């Protein structure tokens, strides 16, 4: 239940791949064949295949997640600067409005 699927060692995946991709094991690892023998084993093989596939997908996605996080942090910083500049602009506009109002009364 607490298996860390994001940090599986590459050596384990490579060894698992040798076993999963071996033509001699193809019939023994077929889901339909295993399901006839044991539902529990069927679930285990499905889980193993899922982890194996997930490893390669995650390997491609991980750099993109890191880049996304970096971009989100950059955007947050830029939004803070924007907010500060908008506040300064509002203060300047208020000052100009006040000066225009004073000029209109004179």
The per-residue pLDDT for range 1-49, each reduced to its tens digit, is 788 999 999 999 999 999 998 988 888 888 998 999 999 999 999 999 9
Expressed as residue numbers, the domain containing 78 is: 5-105
**pLDDT for the residue 75:** 98
Q: What CA–CA distance (Å, rounded) separates 106 from 95? A: 17
Cα torsion 21, 24, 26, 28 to 10°: value is: -130
Tokens found for residue 106: 């004179």
Which one, of 47, 22, 42, lies nearest residue 32 by Cα? 42
In the chain, the number of structural domains is 1
Q: What CA–CA distance (Å, rounded) separates 37 from 30? A: 11
Tokens found for residue 91: 């203060």
In the block, residue with structure tokens 């006839």: 36
């Amino acid at each position: 239940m607490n298996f860390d699927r994001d940090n599986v060692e590459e050596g384990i995946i490579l060894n698992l791949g040798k076993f999963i991709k071996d033509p001699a094991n193809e019939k023994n690892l077929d889901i339909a064949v295993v399901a006839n023998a044991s539902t529990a084993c069927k679930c285990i093989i499905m889980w193993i295949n899922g982890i194996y596939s997930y490893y390669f997908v995650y390997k491609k996605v991980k750099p993109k997640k890191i880049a996304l996080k970096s971009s989100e942090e950059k955007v947050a910083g830029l939004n803070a600067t924007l907010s500060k500049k908008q506040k300064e602009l509002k203060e300047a506009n208020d000052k100009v409005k006040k000066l225009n109002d004073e000029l209109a009364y004179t």
